[in-house]
Structure 1
Amino acid sequence: MNRLVMTQMYEERLGSIHLALKVLYSMVTATISEGSSCALVAEKFATNLPEVLAGRGFSRLLLSGILFDTENLTGPQCTLKDKYMATLLIKGAGRYGCDVRYKMYDLSDLKMGDILRKEFKKLTRV
């Protein structure tokens, strides 16, 4: 088979697959939400299943993700949704946020090369 015939054959097959997927997923719409992924998950649970957030373990898990992503709610990427969801989840956390921040900046287990590499990443971030 020559190359042109093969290309046309594959284009026909891929075109029909693309059309089938377009029909199959025509009801799906893309949404863009700002905030930490854990804040978005916590928001869904707060509106649909608030009793799940009453447990301390799951609340701590979501809160740790929010605190880590937003640098303990002080980073430039922190949104109002992150702060709001953190206040909802904080009841079960206690000193957990302070401990996460301490461990994030703890350098006691790192070697000198690892520390320099970590600081170099901070300086070269644009």
Structure 2
Amino acid sequence: MLVAIEMEVMTPSMESLDERCTVIEFHMPPICSPIVRPGRPAEAAPVVLKQLYDTILSSGMINLKELSLVCGKAAWMAYLDIYCLDADGALFDAALLSAVAAFSHLRIPVVSLNDNGRVVVVLEQEGGKLENEPVNKEE
């Protein structure tokens, strides 16, 4: 499995402030198995994706409240992309382990709000003094 996590700041919808902050995709390209044909999705891909989504979100591995930066105004959106490189059995197990490894190595930068109300990465100044107060206190 090859896993990538992309983070971006988004504005959460008012009806679900803490939800839908994670998007999970599971891809099975034709290189992973001779039974996967180009142009046709693999039959196992939606099944594994559903299991991954249910397991990751129900396990508490990702605390969706911690992804919130400014309540109702800004939150982190995590895009988890999992690519199967070799479909030789135990797809769900391998995908879940690779997702856990990717999230355990994820580092989210410290950010603050600038004068325009936009989220920016906090860079320490020469004297150790910060320009704006950080929204999230630690990486």
TM-score by length of 2: 0.24
Structure with the bigger percentage of helix: 1
TM-score by length of 1: 0.26
Bigger RCO of structures 1 and 2 (CA < 8 A, at least 6 apart):
2
Structure with the bigger percentage of strand: 2
Question: Higher Cα Rg: structure 1 or 2?
Answer: 1
